[in-house]
Amino acid sequence: MREMHLCRRLIGRGRGRRQAVLVVFLIVAILLLARFVRQEPVPEVGSWLRDVDRIPKDDYTMLLLERADRKSPWPNYAEPKWRATSEQQRGLNQVIKAALSRPNKKAKSDNAPLWAQRRLQVKAATKSAWDAYVRDAFGSDEYHPLSHRGENMTKAGVGYFIADVLDTLLLTGLTDEYKRGRDHLASTLTFDQPGAVSLFETTIRVLGGLLSAYHWSGETDTTLLRLADELGGRLAWSFDTETGIPPETAQLQPSGKPRAYLSSTAEVATLQLEFRYLAKLTGKQQYRKYVDRIMDVMFKAPKYDGLVPIYMDATSGKFSGGEIRLGSRGDSYYEYLLKQWLQTRQSEPELLAEYEAAMEGVKKYLVTLSPNQRLTYVGEIQQATSDTPYFNPKMDHLVCFLPGSLALGATRGRALSNIPPAQLSARNREDLILARELADTCMHMYLDTKTGLSPELVYFRHIDPANGKEAEFSKDDQLVPPTGDILARGGDRHSLLRPETVESLFVLWSITGEEKWREYGWSIFSAIEKWAKLPAGGYTSLRDITIVPPPREDKMETFFVSETLKYLYLLFSDSDSVPLSQYVFNTEAHPLPQFNWD
């Protein structure tokens, strides 16, 4: 050893040997200590990277056993038994490795000029949609671009279109357009008018839009906050029922007490982000109490292993009906469980507990694979209240919000590049794997069509696990004959240019940094430009995306500008342009800041 050789040289022979011994021992001790320090284990991340192929088999096996041991509410229901494979686990490891290897610890493309140019194209599309609306229907709640006219929800209108798109105009840098829309609302909009509106749609689009515009314009525009407060006060009349569960329709000039019978589960559970933030800004805690009371009723209501039917009985305060799905009337119930928890900076654990229980139910009863393309998808349960519930292999495009929610829940909005891998539990990893698999399936709903655009909903070829037989289907419905698994029936082939898939692509890009999610988004945007854009400006919905060219529908949905274009713009921007660890997007893509109640 080099240390021993040095020791002999220093000690030598003869006089002064004893003194030298002490010095030598001190030097050797220092050298050995230095060697020990050099041989300390490398930090956690470095150790993980050296063994990147390892997967948490024991932890995941325990998670699967716990899931299997939970008693099913349906003894006669054949569970799909989905699980993440070892290959998918190793694939996730490679994603984590790539994220950790990034020098700046955030998702950033190697081809920044290309994505900047694509981002500008989305900005131009946003301007085209806005300019067409201004030309034909400025001030109207809805826009019909083929007939060049607008239409209102009430006689005077409720600012439905403009309020919904204001923050998109701000975030895309269209400041002149924003000012025109904002000034119009400030000078003309009043909610003191007769008329009935959808409580859910008005909350997520108008109230959410006003609150987001107030925040992103600097939180100094008191006119926007005043309008939000006025609208919130009028909508709040709907909460004055025996159980607190509101009816689906709100009166702008209410009188008496509201009457509620059956209300959509998603609609009454998707008011909370907006009213809680309104309470925070105004100091009026009654807004929070209204929507928290709804959640209290939902927490106490019996569930099916975390899953809930798509209606609530406002009289009894219990869930109603035999349909369980994450599509229409069910979707944002699950979305807002997680987002409410994130909104108040993870300070309300009961919301997280409900969300995690629900996701366990989704994975146990609703997730399965298609037989040929091996596509992972989320089906539905029919006749849940009977002795013979059955799996329905149907998935709305609306369900494509779920990949983003799963990824958001797994990392709490943080990028993988900023998370030590050991902090990801077996459940977190499974959620990320399921998120990536579902997002790929959602993209197949686009890429497998002739137009590159997704139908409103699809069915999948399905083999019944109870008998091993494939359900009958029409070959005319196959998007990719003869072996394709995705089926689009005649009445389901329309496209409203919905945002759910691009929402999940944005979240996955922000969290994983994988370039493929951006490329998927570019594919969708290119198809929109090719088939939905009008020569004179503006965009339309499409009646049948399996036909080339697809016939048009005389409608440009507000959510196309508010959500679809906004998410595409953010997808092509830096991943921290709206940090998911600091903001929550409401279900209409209005980014609201996280906050503390104190």
- Among 80, 60, 586, which residue's Cα sits nearest to residue 362? 80
Q: Which residue among the candidates 201, 335, 514, 588 is catalytic per the annotation?
A: 201
Two tokens, residue 522:
């570019």
CA Rg value for the chain: 28
Which residues, 6 or more positions from 19, have their beta carbon under 8 angstroms from its beta carbon?
none
Annotated catalytic residue 396: no
The amino acid sitting at 370 is S
Dihedral, 580, 584, 587, 591 alpha carbons, nearest 10:
-90
Q: Which residue among the candidates 500, 503, 557, 563 is catalytic per the annotation?
A: 500
Q: Is 358 exposed, middle or buried (0-12, 13-18, 19+ CB in 10 A)?
A: buried
Annotated catalytic residue 201: yes
DSSP string, 507-551: HHHHHH--HHHHHHHHHHHHHHHHHTB-TTS-B-EES-TTSSSPP
Two tokens, residue 402:
């779920």
CA-to-CA dists, residue 260 to 244, 263, 268, 541, 547, angstroms: 9, 7, 11, 33, 42
Two tokens, residue 404:
């983003």
Q: Which residue among the candidates 136, 313, 331, 485 is catalytic per the annotation?
A: 331
Q: Which residue has the tokens 């077996």?
A: 426
Say how far apart CA 294 and CA 584 lie, in whole Å: 20
Two tokens, residue 490:
């005649």
Say how far apart CA 245 and CA 290 lie, in whole Å: 9
DSSP string, 315-373: TTTEEESS-B-SSTTTHHHHHHHHHHHHHTTT--HHHHHHHHHHHHHHHHHTEEE-SSS
Two tokens, residue 595:
């906050």
Q: Which residue among the candidates 141, 313, 456, 553 is catalytic per the annotation?
A: 456
Q: What backbone torsions phi and psi does residue 271 show, to the nearest 5 degrees?
A: -125, -10
Two tokens, residue 250:
């709100």
- Cα 4 from chain centroid (whole Å): 63
Say how far apart CA 157 and CA 190 lie, in whole Å: 9
- Among 48, 56, 90, which residue's Cα sits nearest to residue 436? 90
Q: Which residues are catalytic?
A: 201, 331, 456, 500
